[in-house]
Every structure is written in structure tokens, then in C-alpha cells.
Amino acid sequence: MPSDGRPKLVTVVSLGVLTLSALSLARFVLGLTPSEFPLTVPGWYPPLTGLVWGLLSLLAAVGLFLGRPWALATTGWGAIAYCLWFWADRLLLAQSDFAARSRPASLVLTVLGLAALWWALRRPSLRRYYREKTE
């Protein structure tokens, strides 16, 4: 598929969002089989949230890659919504020793990930690419 003048950063961000989609869809698939470990949430919660985030992030990744005008806003707001869900999930539902000990690392990765995405979505070359797609 020709790049259509697509900046490399568009491809990188698209692949990052696609990776999140793959991980979420893996959560969906793995959540369909009963866990040998005790869950602190209902059995339907892991596959449902995996499916929802997997499909939403897949839609955003495809939109980013194809240069759809709605993709930038969808990705930015989607990242904020995902982080809010992730932290609500970790603070309210993840009640294990590991969850508590890994919170500082998760916080650092969340902040770095959001900062990198914010930086990428505001690059002039990226904004120009999506603006040209709407003209």
C-alpha cells in the first residue's frame, strides 16, 4: 500500500494503537476460558472490557493509518478514557499484592505513554497530513 505522503510518525502511532488493540483482544480471548486463579471481578468483566477496548482501539488505529479526519481527536480522547478506565480498574478492582506493588511503575508508564502520544499528535507534520486529508 503506498504511503500517500503519510509521515512515518503516523505509521508509528498507528502501530502503537494497533498493539494496544491486539493486547485487548488477547484479553478478550483469554477471558473466555475459566481462570485457574481466583478473580476479584465477575467472569464476564475481562472478556467484555477486552472486546470493547480491542475494537475501539482497532478502529482508531485503522483511522489513523488511513488518515481519517476524526482519528486524531478519537485517539487523544480515547487514550484519556483508556487511562481513566485503567486506573479505576487498578484502584477499585485489582486487589492483589502484585497490583499494589506495581502501581508506581504503572503510573510512570501511563504518564510517559500519554506524554509521548500527546507529543506525537501535536507534531506539525502529523497535523498537516490529517488537514490535507480533509481538503
Q: How far apart are CA 96 and CA 81, in angstroms?
A: 24
User: What is the reported pTM?
Assistant: 0.87
pLDDT of residue 1: 45
SS (H, E, C) 114-131: HHHHHHHHCCHHHHHHHH
Note the pLDDT tens digit of each residue in 52-111: 999 999 999 999 999 998 999 999 999 999 999 999 999 998 878 888 899 999 999 999
Note the pLDDT tens digit of each residue in 32-60: 988 787 777 888 999 999 999 999 999 99
Q: How far apart are CA 120 and CA 72, in angstroms?
A: 10
Domain boundaries, the chain: 8-134
Q: Which long-range contacts (CB under 8 A, 24 or more apart) does 91-94 make?
A: 93/40, 93/41, 93/45, 94/40
Residues counted in the chain? 135
Residue that is written with C-alpha cell 509521548 in the block: 116
